Homo-oligomer: A and B are copies of this chain.
Amino acid sequence: MKNPIENLNKVFESRIRLGVMSALMVNEEMNFNDLKQLLEVTDGNLATHLNMLEENSYIKVHKGFIGKKTNTTYSVTKAGEKSFKNHLNALEKMIHNIE
């Protein structure tokens, strides 16, 4: 038997970062508030996780406006997409080994 977790990515161990990535894979881009409401987290907590994803270059931030209101959006980078898919693959292998 082979180590079932060796290809899992530490960064995606967190439920919230998993949720952010998952949402951004489906949505192209989302802003702070949408993510906050979707994942039901506090500002500070979300900001921390977004920071960690950005520091790993898995997402990128775009500060813009809607009319005159600030609107910060987040989207996955190429690297983020690659790493996340890799992680999902590892999860899938683990799951299929079981079912």
Contact = CB atoms under 8 A, between A and B. Distances in A.
A61 interface: no
Q: Is the interface of A mostly helix, strand, loop or mixed?
A: helix
Interface of A: 1, 3-6, 8, 10, 13-16, 18-19, 22-23, 25-27, 38-40, 88, 91-92, 94-95, 97-99
Contact of A15 (B13, B15, B25, B95): B13
A40 to B, nearest CB: 6
A10 B26 CA distance: 23
Nearest to A1: B38
A98 to B, nearest CB: 5
B88 A26 contact: no
